[in-house]
Amino acid sequence: MVKFSPNGRFIASASADGTVRIWNAQTGKHEQTLEGHLAGVSTISWSPDSKLIASGSDDKSIRLWDIATGKQHPKPLHGHHNSIYSLAFSPTGSTLVSGSFDEAVFLWDVRTPRLMRSLPAHSDPVSGVDFSLDGTLIASCAGDGLIRIWDTPTGQCLKTLVHEDMAPVTGVRFSPNGRFVAAWTLDACVRLWRYAEGRCVKTYQGHRNEQFALGGCFGVYGSVGWEEVEEEDEVEVEVEVEGEGGQRVQEEQRRQVERREARVSGTAAASSAAAGTAAGAVGMEELVLELQQGGSGGREKERYAFITSGSEDGAILFWDVQTKEILQRIDAAHSGAVLGVDAHPTLPLIASGGLDRTVRVWGMVEDPLHPPDGTHVGAGSRDADGVVDLNRSPGNFGNDVISGRPNDSIAEGDDRFGSNEGEVNLGG
């Protein structure tokens, strides 16, 4: 797993050797190695202020790290009975949610630190958790094919969403306005749910995902009207409403969310009125689109929302949220499955990790449908010297993003949700 810090200064990589490494996102310099876990690190999450990292491990613990000092907080978070698979900070940074192979979702008070609440969430390992933008809701997903929406203050399950094929769900993300959730599943689909109504309104296809826990993210250019996403006729779904949850979640749906710069679980959306551009996560290549209408490439340069995903055939795809059109497919982005992507919070950069033991960082292209040759900024790879595979291209930022030495690993795959062949060797 690879994550940009919310302030954009660092990249954190989780390692199968039990460490977390911090890299300078501007220079690629290895800044520090966080050591303390007794087994491989499966997941990491940055606090919103970029001062803390939470790491979850196969040693059943969660550790909090002070980035300024490189030291861990004296008290690791214990409570899960099996490996920690997913973590997410609340927007305020005061709460941490964790999902585990023990099928539970835990809420932690980061300030104390202590366990606040345990949610018996699923009947299979929990593969993903996420907070809504305002922090009032939590989404969780698991191998049991269920997506659950939780009320953060009370721990009440407001909705349970399930598709008719019951495909294991490997990742879940709230949309920037909090009205939808996207779910990545092992039937080669990404589905968009209007969770307040229990309806799957869009299904995105074109990638391969039958074996691995692939990840993706949202991207937004400009002020996209998420509430105007047109619904389609999808398969019937089962909806579970517990207690007064129906009213609670309907109120959440009606809430107006301010259009503003925001980072949503590793997904960036940023705009600059002065420069006339907007940037967000696009997949392997990050775009900077002019906000005015017109332009080349057979498509108007417009403001739109998109969803990205890695693919088991080494490609990365991104879809127009509204039309489901594949805006761009980056073939051979990696020589094995692309397990995850993460966006820089403000710059047009995106990092990807794959089974080919590389982490690649990609730069902007002006036209997503007709990218020039050599569009990626840099790629960290395992080779004899551990030197960055750096391809310069016109208009990029000219900086290698990651460098290192061989024989250090980032844990990407996991046999709990597929093969565990995915050790990305990236050193420091």
pLDDT one digit per residue (tens) for the chain, 428 residues: 788 999 999 988 888 889 998 988 888 788 999 999 999 998 999 999 999 999 999 999 999 999 999 999 999 999 999 999 999 999 999 999 999 999 999 999 999 999 999 998 899 999 999 999 999 999 999 999 999 999 999 999 999 999 988 899 999 999 988 899 999 999 999 999 999 999 999 999 988 888 877 778 887 644 444 455 555 544 333 334 334 444 444 444 433 333 223 222 232 223 222 222 222 222 222 222 222 222 223 344 455 677 888 889 888 888 889 999 988 888 888 898 887 788 777 776 777 877 787 777 776 454 444 443 334 333 333 332 222 222 222 223 222 333 232 223 333 333 322 222 222 222 33
H or E segment at 245?
helix 245-254
341 backbone dihedrals φ, ψ, rounded to 5°: -135, 150
Residue 393 lies in a domain: yes
pLDDT at res. 228: 52
pLDDT at res. 214: 78
pLDDT at res. 202: 95
Residue 160 lies in a domain: no
The pLDDT > 90 percentage for the chain reads 41
pLDDT at res. 231: 58
Query: What's the pTM?
Result: 0.71
Total domain count, the chain:
1
In whole angstroms, what is the distance from residue 414 CA to residue 213 CA?
Answer: 8
Give the three-class secondary structure for 252: helix
Burial, 246: exposed, middle or buried (Cβ in 10 Å; 0-12, 13-18, 19+)?
middle
Residue 390 lies in a domain: yes
pLDDT at res. 16: 81
Residue 164 lies in a domain: no
Listing DSSP states for 204-219 in one string gives: E-SS--SSS---EEEE
pLDDT at res. 168: 94
Which amino acid belongs to residue 168?
A: P
pLDDT at res. 392: 26
Residue 41 lies in a domain: no
Residue 194 lies in a domain: no
Residue 324 lies in a domain: yes
pLDDT at res. 145: 94
pLDDT at res. 376: 38
Residue 3 lies in a domain: no
Which domain, by its residues, includes 374? 261-428
Q: What is the pLDDT of residues 180-222, one digit of tens each?
A: 999 999 999 999 999 999 999 999 998 888 887 777 888 764 4
pLDDT at res. 422: 28
Give the three-class secondary structure for 259: coil
pLDDT at res. 24: 87
DSSP 8-class letter at 319? E
